[in-house]
Amino acid sequence: VQLQASGGGLVQAGGSLRLSCAASGLTFSTYYMAWFRQAPGKEREFVAAINWSGVSTYYADSVQGRLTISRDNSKNTVSLQMNSLKLEDTANHYCAVVRAGRNYRSRLEYEYWGQGTLVTVSS
């Protein structure tokens, strides 16, 4: 299984970025997909998840209303649209996969991780 994340960069507070993650080596449409992030000196934390069909989405309270997760099962990709970015969103962002029925909010449940893409929000 390979997960390739992209789209990170430097953006001013209030700006937008779109992260993408391409998956290969798995039956993509049967897995939940998620984004986590890890800021320097902090633990990796849950950001957003989406079920296999894309109908159900889940967000951390800190990003609710600003970030939108989506997936395209025909292209084996998951995206994270990030709007109204804040300084505290600065972190390495990781995509990950988990089987249905697991606790998608817990990083310990995830089997495969991408390499991370850095989002830096400046004032």
The predicted-structure confidence for 12-52, as pLDDT tens digits, reads as follows 999 999 999 999 998 888 899 999 999 999 999 999 999 99
Nearest to 13 by CA among 52, 66, 78, 80: 66
What pLDDT, on the 0 to 100 scale, is given for residue 6?
97
Assess contact for 22 and 76: CB atoms under 8 A: yes
Residues 107-121: what's their mean pLDDT?
Answer: 95
Assess contact for 7 and 78: CB atoms under 8 A: no
SS3 content of the chain, % helix, strand, coil (to 5): 5, 50, 40
Assess contact for 121 and 13: CB atoms under 8 A: yes
The rounded mean pLDDT for the chain is: 96
Distance, CA of 75 to CA of 17 (rounded, Å): 20
| Cα distances (angstroms) measured from residue 79 to each of 19, 40, 42, 122, 123 | 5, 23, 24, 22, 25
Distance, CA of 123 to CA of 108 (rounded, Å): 33
Is the model's pLDDT at 55 over the cut of 90? yes
